[in-house]
């Protein structure tokens, strides 16, 4: 883990989910903590290694009046998954990066009590920006598409990777 990131996250192997790491903010008062337990990994289970996988576990507090996952929760999860993806895909520190744009298209009503998984990939990287896209899926094999998204993230100052 990069030294500057120690103030933001803990990413240790998750014993309950082999092959996955925990994704926990050190500050429990941040918005991200509202989303609850999150785990991350790169590819696996037939998913390409250039895709970051981020999971959350929707609880009752994440519901809307229709007893499905609230759209605001889904968008908050997608936003947080962008920064987890930066770390999983080894694109440098994510703590001071900023979401410049996030477009979300809801496809289905996400169910409570079943993990939601954001699958995030980098469409393009420039010196200052990441252009990202992905799907939020649900179900045992990730067969149920819940949302699609595209995003632009402004990288933290002085952050560059080999993908340019």
pLDDT digits (tens, 9 = 90+) for 42-66: 999 999 999 999 999 999 999 999 9
Write down the mean pLDDT value for the chain.
88
Tokens at residue 57, please?
Answer: 């576990």
Please tell me the pTM assigned to this model: 0.89
Half-sphere exposure of 91 (CA within 13 A, CB side): 35
> CA 9 to CA 41: how far, in whole Å?
14
List pLDDT tens digits, range 97-148.
Answer: 899 999 999 999 999 999 999 999 999 999 999 999 999 999 877 779 999 9
Strands in 21-22's sheet, in edge-to-edge order, are: 21-22, 38-44, 47-56, 116-125, 129-138, 144-154, 98-106
Q: Which domains does the chain have, with CATH numbers?
A: 3-154 (3.10.129.10)
Helix (H, G, I), strand (E, B) or coil at 17: coil
Tokens at residue 41, please?
Answer: 């990994």
Helix (H, G, I), strand (E, B) or coil at 76: helix
Q: Answer yes or no: are the C-beta atoms of 137 and 144 closer than 8 Å.
A: yes
C-beta neighbour count of 139 within 10 angstroms: 14
């Amino acid at each position: 883990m990069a030294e500057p990131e120690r103030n933001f996250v803990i990413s240790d192997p998750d014993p309950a989910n082999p092959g996955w790491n925990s994704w926990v903010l050190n500050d429990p008062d941040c918005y991200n903590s509202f989303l609850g337990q999150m785990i991350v990994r790169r590819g696996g289970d037939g998913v390409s290694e250039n895709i970051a996988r981020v999971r959350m576990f929707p609880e009752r507090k994440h519901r809307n009046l229709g007893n499905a996952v609230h759209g605001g929760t889904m968008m908050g999860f997608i936003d947080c998954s962008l920064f987890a993806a930066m770390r999983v895909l080894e694109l440098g520190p994510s703590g001071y990066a900023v979401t410049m744009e996030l477009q979300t298209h809801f496809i289905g009503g996400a169910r409570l009590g079943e993990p939601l998984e954001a699958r995030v990939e980098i469409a393009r990287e420039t010196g200052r920006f990441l252009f990202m896209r992905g799907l939020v899926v649900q179900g045992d094999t990730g067969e149920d598409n819940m949302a699609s998204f595209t995003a632009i993230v402004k990288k933290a100052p002085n952050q560059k990777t080999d993908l340019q």
